[in-house]
Structure 1
């Protein structure tokens, strides 16, 4: 029986793929609405529409978790954010959550390891993760049929054409079943897979799929208007009008995150999350059901959170040994790049804007042996991206 599973580096799974019960699973619900901007340039009066995204990036969520922890610890130690920036806090704080960049010092994450965020819904105090349709999942619908038909892409074998470096030896993607279906047209699937559907998908079996969960069943978007502020006058700035896209999750729908350390002493509470000082209500919940695991041979790696690579969609060197040993990349199905930045609260400045491979992208390898390392590189002068939650992945067969 072929196994499959989730080996991304995190507190939730060890490098060998064994389930780890330490740390905390945190479920976060919106107190009202959330604003997670898509990081495209936005300035009131110049570009007055701020587009939203859901789920937020790992950078946003790990920042919110660390900020709540630090606010409580700094208050307890009677320290300020400037003290933290200078490293003038207890060794316990530095050991757990690291330090920000300052005076040539590279930011660190300490011992903290974050996995997620995942869109999830609560079922019996357990978060059920929901997975955005991967890039190799296709759907087709005919008006006479009440349900959609789903199909997978997979490498089609050695091509009848020649490719050069860096694509030498690559295999084109084609539908797994092949054949003609009387002109049936397929398109990239949209929606969300349940955990059970995702298990079937990783095993290469989507023939029983009839539908996916639509966005509208999980969250709604709301456009709201606002006025730019003149903070010196403590009044609205003239002609600084903008419109922002907020997200309102449905009941029992939120974000599920794992941390490898018991960072929250309270079993529930509030934390700032997203723009305009919006809140989330968090609670510590039971771990979700583990996904079966594999890591050898013909493996497809499915990104569950965005990943950074120095060469855009791959390491600049083209060397994948950190993640798959001597495995060979033979094909990919990649979504549109995702621009990600953030706000450095300790230094009062924006973080660099970089482009990432989006969640749902799929990498097909032959002769792979997964190492369990987060499927991402770390940009220069940045904390460990795997520890921040980037590069979480699941591994299936093809």
Structure 2
């Protein structure tokens, strides 16, 4: 088993198109997802490994047993949704400070501005989810604060997990994102007829690209079920409009978060999603958790990693929509709704 960390750095702006189509109504510009979807990065990794070997991509697409340099390449890197003997985790936003790279994590969605207030679990109410569901609520106050959107450092996430406040220096939100992480740039484009090499009349479109700062990268950890991973090319086209990215391959250095040590009488636990999630049947609830109407409220019961849990409430952001282009079948992929990163589930251990 080979483990590596691949680091992608921008040599130009990047564009990872949101789920809306170019032909969508409204005339508004298409925004860019960032960090990019995992499928996009996996495609770049496959391409980089193939280019290093000089793969004939047409033959790879047509021949299930295509072999190069003695390697059955479809088995090596997979094909379409099958990743073969190659696997990866989610792409992480990473910032270089004091000569070293540090990964950033989504801010938990129970944190709000105005002194960094936290949502609390309210009293049971009757709603569409059940007879007595405990929904999240803000503490009583005059102003209406906005959710904190952005990223936090490992130190900030560890403080949150310990029930402490995250200091401002560990948060990247609003203007600090624009100053220290990346900027969004609006672009105007026009469709082109490749057969005549002329512009198509009236076919204008607008996009918003991402321009990362020079100290910002995308990192992803990969595992390969073979002795070695082929050294990739140093440059690869990543995302929409074929923008260039540099590739650096490193030995994986596992990130271990310091976690709180509850006492033996503690039964409450908050599950926090660090990456977007796609659950069974595209549901918002954890897989195989079933609703139970109890005297003291509506709950959801199930088992996670061998631990029996009861979910009492959840804080979930707006669904993250992902689509993209199916390179193998030359058609758009179905749009999927994901639970966004930073969502939380309030549970007790049974």
TM-score category of the 2 structures, normalised to the smaller one: 0.7 to 0.9
Range moving further from structure 2, 249-258 or 51-60 = 51-60
Specify the alignment match of 1:332 in structure 2: 314
Choose from 107, 117, 137 the match for 1:133. 107
CA distance 1:224–1:184, change in 2 (3 Å): closer
CA distance 1:330–1:64, change in 2 (3 Å): same
The whole-number CA distance in structure 1 between the counterparts of 2:110 and 2:240 is 33
CA distance 1:366–1:283, change in 2 (3 Å): same
Specify the alignment match of 1:300 in structure 2: 270
CA distance 1:208–1:245, change in 2 (3 Å): closer
Choose from 73, 88, 91 the match for 1:93. 73
Size of the alignment, in residue pairs? 323
Residue 112 (structure 1) aligned with residue 86 (structure 2): yes
The whole-number CA distance in structure 1 between the counterparts of 2:43 and 2:127 is 42
The whole-number CA distance in structure 1 between the counterparts of 2:324 and 2:25 is 21
Choose from 81, 86, 95 the match for 1:121. 95
Deviation digits for residues 72-112 of structure 1 (CA, Å, limit 9, x no counterpart): 34x25xx3334334413236423332222xxxxxx311122
Residue 151 (structure 1) aligned with residue 117 (structure 2): yes
CA distance 1:29–1:238, change in 2 (3 Å): same
Output the aligned Cα RMSD: 3.1
Query: Which structure's relative contact order is higher, taking Cα pairs within 8 Å and 6+ residues apart?
Result: 1
Specify the alignment match of 1:343 in structure 2: 325
Deviation of 1:153 (Å):
2.8
Choose from 51, 58, 61 the match for 1:81. 58
TM-score (norm 2): 0.80
Residue 290 (structure 1) aligned with residue 272 (structure 2): no
Structure 1 stretches of at least 4 aligned residues deviating more than 6 Å after TM superposition: none
Report which of the two has the higher share of strand: 2
Deviation of 1:207 (Å):
6.1
Choose from 16, 36, 59 the match for 2:16. 36
CA distance 1:50–1:311, change in 2 (3 Å): closer
**SS of residue matched to 2:214:** coil
TM-score (norm 1): 0.72
Specify the alignment match of 1:275 in structure 2: 240
Deviation of 1:355 (Å):
1.1
Residue 260 (structure 1) aligned with residue 223 (structure 2): yes
Whether the 8 Å CA contact 2:267–2:349 is kept in 1: the answer is yes
The whole-number CA distance in structure 2 between the counterparts of 1:117 and 1:242 is 28
CA distance 1:317–1:136, change in 2 (3 Å): same
**SS of residue matched to 1:336:** coil
Choose from 9, 27, 33 the match for 2:7. 27
The whole-number CA distance in structure 1 between the counterparts of 2:26 and 2:192 is 15
Whether the 8 Å CA contact 1:52–1:246 is kept in 2: the answer is yes
Specify the alignment match of 2:294 in structure 1: none
